[in-house]
Amino acid sequence: MPLSADQAIVTAKQDFSAPQKLSAASELLLSVSVWSKHRVLVAVSGGADSVALFRTINGLRDELAPQAIAPDVVHVNHGMRGSAERDADFVRDLARTFNAKFHLKAISWTGNDEGENKSENKLRDLRYAAILEVAREIGARYVFTGHHQGDQVETILFRIFRGTGLAGLTGIPAVRVVDETVSLVRPLLEVDRETILAALAAWKQEFCHDESNDGDDYSRNFLRNTLLPQARDYFGPHVNQSILRLAQHAGDSVELERACVQDFFDSHQVEFNILDGKRQTRFARADFAGISPILVRAILIEVWRKNNWPLGAMTSARWHELSELILQQGMCRVLNLPSDLRMEVGSTQVLMIETK
């Protein structure tokens, strides 16, 4: 039976070491000695994960840095559920209980004209935009969010089913630098939900239940409620760890690829110019001699990133086509590419240029 939609009381078995496990995970990722020197913001939806995160961050501050400013709390009201106002009131009361400043941001969007994946992505983007807006308004250096191990596993599976490369298999980053003023931090990313619920039980801390997570109407709900439990029943309880090991191996491969790409740029003369307001990048074609097609594709992708050219319009097949063209001896060709880009492969040079 699902927990009540009203400030659900944790029914998990109490484990009085669980709060310490959450604190240890947070300290391992970003020590309180670092973040307590700055203003920080905790995103709290009212659900178990974000409430446990707030209690953890606030507890670390009280114990190890009582002189530091109390963490601020931000709640984003999507206005899409009947319980949205109740959740906002709950988080406001939680912040007041611990003398934390409360910030409420409301976003309005129906998503009726979008598919499910686009709707979820758009809603996520709006939510992060609202949170970061508050962070910049108050000068918060770090924004903490309550993603946990289960979210990581679901994200990796979701990307596999949609189609992803190695970078997508690495999952959610524990720390993401948004810009020079603010970073997103996910201290509980390696903590399982059972430990989170046990910590809340030990604190006797209430939280809100999001009834929209109960059904399988959304892809992530299906993964969480149906596919993953069946996978654990069939293959065993190690399923999550197996998926996370895959993410770690993918991360290692991505880091190796990045190092190889950087070595290429460090050891070859690559020209990045702006001519008549249009960005262009020029290589000597001989620089690609003897290089793996995999590395050529990674180098091209990095060129796109350095020029801030949109990657979304470039398919895997297109990247393969470009790398094969560059490596094919004696082949010269001009290709028009998405986003008003053109690639000119000559006998001695490779040029990528904006056409508009």
What is the average pLDDT value for the chain, to the nearest integer? 91
State the SS3 of 231-286.
HHHHHCCCHHHHHHHHHHHHHHHHHHHHHHHHHHHHHCCCEEEEECCEEEEEEEHH
Residues pairing with 73 in the sheet: 42, 102
% of the chain at pLDDT higher than 70: 91
pLDDT number for residue 291: 94
Tokens at 301, concatenated: 């992708």
Distance (Å, whole) CA 50 – CA 44: 5
Q: Among 3.30.70.1230, 3.50.50.60, 3.30.465.60, 3.30.465.10, name the CATH number for the domain at 268-354.
A: 3.30.465.60
pLDDT number for residue 219: 86
Give domain limits for the chain: 18-245, 268-354
% of the chain at pLDDT higher than 90: 80
pLDDT number for residue 215: 67
Angstrom CA distances, 253 to 168, 189, 278, 313, 316, stand at 12, 21, 34, 24, 18
Q: What is the pLDDT of residues 10-54, one digit of tens each?
A: 444 556 699 999 999 999 999 999 999 999 999 999 999 999 999
Please give the helix or strand (H or E) that residue 78 lies within, else none.
Answer: none
| Structural contact between residues 70 and 101, judged by C-beta atoms closer than 8 angstroms | yes
92 three-class SS: helix
Distance (Å, whole) CA 86 – CA 77: 10
Model confidence at 7: pLDDT above 80: no
Domain at 18-245: CATH code: 3.40.50.620
Tokens at 352, concatenated: 């990528």
Q: What is the pTM of this model?
A: 0.85
Across the range 93-111, mean pLDDT stands at 89
Distance (Å, whole) CA 301 – CA 298: 5
Residue tagged 């006998």 (tokens) = 347
Exposed/middle/buried for residue 204 (C-beta within 10 Å: 0-12, 13-18, 19+): exposed
Band of pLDDT at residue 110, cut at 50, 70 and 90: low
Count of Cβ atoms closer than 10 Å to residue 124 Cβ: 10
Across the range 248-264, mean pLDDT stands at 96
Buried b (16+ CB within 10 A) or exposed e, 71-109: bbbbbbbbeeeebbeebbebbbebbeeeebebbebeeee
Distance (Å, whole) CA 148 – CA 50: 10
Tokens at 86, concatenated: 């109740």
pLDDT number for residue 93: 97
**Residue 223 contacts by C-beta under 8 Å, 6 or more apart in sequence?**
154, 157, 158
Q: What is the pLDDT of residues 222-239, one digit of tens each?
A: 999 999 999 999 999 999
